[in-house]
Chains A and B, each alone.
Chain A
C-alpha cells in the first residue's frame, strides 16, 4: 500500500493535470530541441569517423601535366608516401532527357581500390567497366538518371558519346553534386579517351605514411613528391593539402551545429525558467498544505523530497516524449546534413551516450530548476503557511499601479494592466522567456533577410554579368569578343583569362591552389566592394585583389604584402593591393596583362556577358544559341553557366541553414507560449475568489475573458518591446557565426522592420492561444464555487 504522502503526490499531479502537462511539455520541448542537435552531432560524428575517414581521403593532391605508371611507381617509392593513385578529371557536358548539364568525369589508375579516396558502390557496377558510366550518388536526384538509362557525354567540341549508366557509387570526398549542380561520373581511362581526353592522368593523390593529421607534415611530404615529379621533367601545376581528416564541408557543418546547439541550449534554459515558474506557482498553491503537513510532523526535508520526486517524475515523463521526438528530428536533420557532406546515415544509429545524456538532463533539469523554489517553499514557517489571506496577493506597486492609473481606458483593460504586474517575479520570468524567444526569432528572420541581401549584393551589384562561357581552348580575347558579338541578345561583354596559382610559403612549401582570374582592370562587369586596400589600377603590374576567404586561408595575403606565387610551375612575385568581398570562394583577380606576362600567353578562355534579354528562360535560350553559334564559328564551348542559376543555388543552400535556425527559434517560441499559458492558468487559479467577486458584482463571461486575454496581451506586447533591442546582439552573434564559415553577411545594428512586425503579429497570436484555455477556465468559475474556494 502506498504511503499517504506519495498518494498525495500522485493525486495532486492528477488533480492539476493542466499544470502537470505544462511542466512535462516545457521540459520536453527543451530536451527535444537540445537533444535533436546533440543527436545530430553525435550521429554525424560517428558517420564522419566511420564513413569519411574509412574512405582514406587523400592527404594531398598534386596537379601535374602528365602522370604515367612510371611516375606513379616513383612516387609510391618515396619514404613519406603510404599510397598514391593517379586520376584525371575532365569537365564535359552530360545530356539526358534533352537537358545538357555540366559534368565532372573522373578516371583513375585504381578506381576500384581502397588505398586512396575509396569510392563505395551503392548499386550496379563498381568499378566502372569499359564503356560504362558510373554515376556518383549525390548527382542522382539532380540529374534524374538511373541504372539502365543512357547519358550523352561530350567533351568540348568532341563527338558526343552515349554511355549506359551501369552503376551508382558514392565518393564522400566530393561536395554533393545536387548542391554544386554538377553531374559527377566515373569512367575507365579508355572510355575517357573515347571522349577525346588525353590517355594519361593529370592528378596525383597521395596518403602519407605517418602524421596523417599533421597538415605541416603533409605539406612537406607533398613538397617532396612535387620535387620528385619535377625531377622527371614534368610540371607541377598546383598542390592542394586539405585540412586533414576534415570533410570539405565539415567546418560549415560544425558551425551550423554549433549555432543550432546554442539555440538548443537556449530552449533548454528557457524550459528551466518555465519549470522554475511553474514549480514556484505550484508551491504557492500548496503553502497551506505544506503548513498542515509540517504541523502534523513532516520535516522540511520530507516535504522537499516529495516535491523533488515530483520534479524528477515529470522530467522522466518528459524524457519519454522528448527523447524519441528529438531522435526522429535528429535523424531527419542528420540525413539532410549528411547529404550536404555527401554521406549516407542509413544503417547508423544515434550513439547511446547521447540518449543517456538527454535522460540525465531530463532527470536533473527539473530538479535543479525546482530546487530553489522547493527549498524556499518548504522553509516557510508553519504559522505563516497556515495564515489565511482571503483574496490573496499583495497590492500592486510600481508599473502596475502607474499604468493602472491611466485615465480614459476601459475598466476591464485597466484591471488587465494591473493584474499583469501583481506577481512581479513570475511576470519577469514570463517576459524574459517570451522576449528571448522573440529575439531568437527576429535574429533568425534577420539572418534570412541579410543572406538574401548579401547574395543579392553579390550577384546584383558585384557580378554585373548574366552568364559565363568557358571555351574548350583559349583564344585571343578580341576574337572571342567578336565571335560572341555576332549573336543577338548580348550586351556588355568581356574575355577573361585564368590560371591556378599557389602561394610559396617562407618554408618553401606550397599553399593550396586558387583561381587567379585575369580581367580588364577597369572591368564594368564586376564591382566587388573592397574590405581592405583597393581595387586594381592600370599601372599595377603583377598585383592582385583577393577574396575574403582566400585572405583567411592564406594570412600572408594582406594589402601591401609581396608574395611569391607559383603559376604553371614557375615562380613570380606579386603584390596584394586589396581584399574584396566576393562571396564564399577562395579566389583572386588580377589584370589580364599580368596573367599574360606571367604565363607568356595572352589568350583568354572565359567570356562573361550581360544579356539584353530578360528572364531565366530567355537567358537559357541565349546561352544555348551562343553555344551553337560559337561552335559554328570555331569557338567550341566547354561549359556555360547562368549567373541566376548560381544565385538561386547559393541562396537556396544558405537559406536552408537559416531555415533550421528559424525552426529552432520556433521551439523557443513554443516554450515562451507555454510560459505565458502557465502564468495565466496560475493567475486564474490564484484569483478564483476574486473572479467570483467580479461575477457577483455583475461581470459577464465576456468581460472576464477579456480581462484574462488583456492581461496576456499586456505581457505579450511588453515582451515584444523587450525582444526588439535584445534581437540586435542576437543578430550580430548569429551573423558573425554564420559569416565565419558561410557567406559573410552584414550584422545589422538595428532590427529589421519586417522581423519586428512579424514578431509583434506572432506574439499577439501566441498570447491569444496561450490565454484561450485560462480565459475559458475563468469563465467557467461559478460565483458560489469561487467564493467557497479554498
Chain B
C-alpha cells in the first residue's frame, strides 16, 4: 500500500494512531498510518467524512498529538515537541489554510498576513508590510490589502488566508478543505494556485472532498476508517477507494 517517494521525505509518519476519548468509549480516528511525503510534492488526501483525513493534517501540523506512532516533519519529531516549542515551530515550518479561512476579523488582510511574521519574528519589522503586500500581489488580492475580512468575498478571504500561511515561507503548506466553502469557479482557481505553488517547489498537503482536486495533485492518498486505503500518483481510481 505504501508508495515510496522518489525524493527524501519531508514528512514522515510511522505507525501513527489517534484515539479520541468519548463517553461511549474511545473513537479511533487514525489507525497505524505510515506514509512519507517528499519535498515539493502536492498531495491530496481524500476520503469520506470521518475517515481521519483532517486528523492526519492536525497531527502533521502539531495542532494535535498522536495517541501512538511518530510524526517527523523536516527532521523534527513533532509528536515529541513540548507545547511551548510547538507554536513557534509551527509558525516557522508549517503554513495552515482552513476551510473557514479563520482570518482574524479585526485585522486587515495585510495585517493578517503580517501576523505570523510578528509572532515568529521571521522578518525585520520594516520589511513585513512589503512582504505581506508581495504575497497578496502573488495571490491576486493586493487591492484588498487594507480591507477587513468582512469586506471580502469567500474566495478573496481564502487567498488572504493562503498568503498568511505562506508568510513565514514555511516548508509545508497544509490545507484543510480549502475549497469546501467556495463556489466551483473559485475552487478551481485556488487549486490552480496550489499547483503552481507546488511547481515552484512548495510542499502542499491538502485534505479535500473535491474530486477535481485529484487532477491538480501530484499524488493522491485515499483514506477510509482511519487508514490509508489507496496511494498513487495523480488520481486514485474510485474502485480502489471503495474496494
A: residues with CB less than 8 A from B are 1, 3-5, 7-8, 11-12, 15, 288-289, 292-302, 381-383, 386, 388, 790
B102 A288 Cβ-Cβ under 8 A? yes
Q: Counting chain A CB atoms within 10 Å of each CB, which of B84, B88, B102 scores highest?
A: B102
**Contact (A386, B98) CB under 8 Å given A4-B107, A294-B87:** yes
The 9 closest A-B pairs by CB, nearest first: A297-B91, A11-B106, A383-B64, A4-B111, A298-B119, A296-B116, A382-B63, A297-B119, A297-B120
Known: A295-B63, A386-B63. 16 other contacts (CB 8 A): A5-B115, A8-B107, A8-B111, A8-B115, A292-B103, A293-B115, A294-B90, A296-B90, A296-B91, A297-B87, A297-B90, A297-B168, A298-B87, A298-B119, A299-B119, A386-B98
18 example contacts (A-B, Cβ-Cβ < 8 A) are as follows: A3-B125, A4-B111, A4-B114, A4-B115, A8-B104, A293-B104, A293-B119, A295-B61, A295-B96, A295-B102, A296-B116, A296-B119, A297-B90, A297-B92, A297-B116, A297-B168, A300-B84, A383-B63
Residue of A4, A288, A289, A382 touching B118 (CB-CB under 8 A) = A4
- Min Cβ gap A118→B in Å is 65
B164 within 8 Å of A (CB atoms):
yes
Docked CA distance A8–B118 (Å) = 12
Q: Which chain A residues lie closer than 8 Å to B83 at the CB level?
A: 300
B129 within 8 Å of A (CB atoms):
yes
- Min Cβ gap B70→A in Å is 19
Residue of B nearest to A388 (CB): B100
**Contact (A296, B63) CB under 8 Å given A8-B106, A8-B107, A386-B102:** no
Docked CA distance A4–B103 (Å) = 12
B88 A7 Cβ-Cβ under 8 A? no
Docked CA distance A302–B88 (Å) = 11
A7 B111 Cβ-Cβ under 8 A? yes
Docked CA distance A296–B165 (Å) = 7
Residue of A nearest to B92 (CB): A297
B112 within 8 Å of A (CB atoms):
yes
Docked CA distance A120–B83 (Å) = 71
Q: Counting chain B CB atoms within 10 Å of each CB, which of A15, A300, A383 scores highest?
A: A383
**Contact (A292, B104) CB under 8 Å given A4-B118, A297-B168:** yes
Q: Which chain A residues lie closer than 8 Å to B118 at the CB level?
A: 3-5
B58 within 8 Å of A (CB atoms):
yes
- Min Cβ gap A585→B in Å is 67
Docked CA distance A300–B119 (Å) = 11
Residue of A nearest to B55 (CB): A383
Q: Which chain B residues lie closer than 8 Å to A300 at the CB level?
A: 83-84, 87
Q: Which of B114-148 contact A (CB under 8 A)?
A: 114-116, 118-120, 125, 129
A296 B129 Cβ-Cβ under 8 A? no
Docked CA distance A381–B100 (Å) = 19
Residue of A nearest to B98 (CB): A386
Residue of B nearest to A385 (CB): B63
- Min Cβ gap B61→A in Å is 7
Q: Which chain B residues lie closer than 8 Å to A790 at the CB level?
A: 100
**Contact (A299, B87) CB under 8 Å given A5-B118, A383-B58, A386-B63:** yes
Docked CA distance A386–B58 (Å) = 11
B129 A1 Cβ-Cβ under 8 A? yes
- Min Cβ gap B26→A in Å is 16
Q: Which chain A residues lie closer than 8 Å to B168 at the CB level?
A: 297
| Interface of A (DSSP majority class) | helix
Q: Which chain A residues lie closer than 8 Å to B64 at the CB level?
A: 381-383
- Min Cβ gap A764→B in Å is 38
Docked CA distance A381–B96 (Å) = 16
A299 B102 Cβ-Cβ under 8 A? no
Residue of A nearest to B120 (CB): A297
- Min Cβ gap A295→B in Å is 5
B63 A299 Cβ-Cβ under 8 A? no
Docked CA distance A48–B165 (Å) = 67
Docked CA distance A299–B118 (Å) = 11
Q: Which chain B residues lie closer than 8 Å to A302 at the CB level?
A: 119
Docked CA distance A109–B109 (Å) = 87
Q: Which of B165-208 contact A (CB under 8 A)?
A: 165, 167-168
Q: Which chain B residues lie closer than 8 Å to A295 at the CB level?
A: 61, 63, 90, 96, 102
Residue of A nearest to B114 (CB): A4
- Min Cβ gap B77→A in Å is 18
Residue of B nearest to A294 (CB): B87
- Min Cβ gap A533→B in Å is 71
Docked CA distance A302–B90 (Å) = 15
1/0 per residue B63-92: CB within 8 Å of A?
110000000000000000001100110111
A11 B107 Cβ-Cβ under 8 A? yes
Docked CA distance A15–B100 (Å) = 22
- Min Cβ gap B127→A in Å is 12
A299 B84 Cβ-Cβ under 8 A? yes
Q: Which chain B residues lie closer than 8 Å to A299 at the CB level?
A: 84, 87-88, 119
Residue of B nearest to A382 (CB): B63
- Min Cβ gap B64→A in Å is 4
- Min Cβ gap A143→B in Å is 66
Q: Which chain A residues lie closer than 8 Å to B165 at the CB level?
A: 296
Docked CA distance A294–B94 (Å) = 12
Docked CA distance A382–B89 (Å) = 14
Docked CA distance A381–B58 (Å) = 11
A289 B104 Cβ-Cβ under 8 A? yes
B106 A12 Cβ-Cβ under 8 A? yes
Q: Which chain B residues lie closer than 8 Å to A382 at the CB level?
A: 63-64
Q: Counting chain B CB atoms within 10 Å of each CB, which of A8, A12, A294, A295 scores highest?
A: A295
Q: Which chain A residues lie closer than 8 Å to B90 at the CB level?
A: 294-297
A297 B104 Cβ-Cβ under 8 A? no
- Min Cβ gap A361→B in Å is 30
Q: Which chain A residues lie closer than 8 Å to B104 at the CB level?
A: 8, 289, 292-293
Docked CA distance A140–B164 (Å) = 76
Residue of A nearest to B148 (CB): A11
Q: Counting chain B CB atoms within 10 Å of each CB, which of A288, A300, A301, A386 scores highest?
A: A386
Residue of B nearest to A11 (CB): B106
A296 B84 Cβ-Cβ under 8 A? no
Residue of A nearest to B59 (CB): A383
Q: Which chain A residues lie closer than 8 Å to B91 at the CB level?
A: 296-298
Q: Which chain B residues lie closer than 8 Å to A3 at the CB level?
A: 114, 118, 125
Residue of B nearest to A286 (CB): B104
A296 B115 Cβ-Cβ under 8 A? yes
Q: Which chain A residues lie closer than 8 Å to B103 at the CB level?
A: 292
Q: Which chain B residues lie closer than 8 Å to A298 at the CB level?
A: 87, 91, 119
Q: Which chain A residues lie closer than 8 Å to B119 at the CB level?
A: 5, 293, 296-299, 302
- Min Cβ gap B121→A in Å is 10
Q: Which chain A residues lie closer than 8 Å to B88 at the CB level?
A: 297, 299
**Contact (A15, B106) CB under 8 Å given A1-B129, A3-B125, A295-B61:** yes
Residue of A nearest to B129 (CB): A1
Residue of A nearest to B115 (CB): A4
Docked CA distance A7–B104 (Å) = 11
Q: Counting chain A CB atoms within 10 Å of each CB, which of B83, B106, B112, B125 scores highest?
A: B106
Q: Which chain A residues lie closer than 8 Å to B115 at the CB level?
A: 4-5, 8, 293, 296
- Min Cβ gap B82→A in Å is 11
Q: Counting chain A CB atoms within 10 Å of each CB, which of B92, B103, B111 scores highest?
A: B111
Docked CA distance A3–B87 (Å) = 19
Q: Which chain A residues lie closer than 8 Å to B98 at the CB level?
A: 386
Q: Counting chain B CB atoms within 10 Å of each CB, which of A4, A7, A289 scores highest?
A: A4
- Min Cβ gap B135→A in Å is 13
Q: Which chain B residues lie closer than 8 Å to A292 at the CB level?
A: 102-104
- Min Cβ gap B32→A in Å is 21
Q: Which chain A residues lie closer than 8 Å to B167 at the CB level?
A: 296
Docked CA distance A301–B107 (Å) = 21
Q: Which chain A residues lie closer than 8 Å to B111 at the CB level?
A: 4, 7-8
- Min Cβ gap B160→A in Å is 12
Docked CA distance A294–B102 (Å) = 12
Residue of B nearest to A14 (CB): B106
Q: Which chain B residues lie closer than 8 Å to A381 at the CB level?
A: 63-64
Q: Which chain B residues lie closer than 8 Å to A5 at the CB level?
A: 115, 118-119
Residue of B nearest to A379 (CB): B83
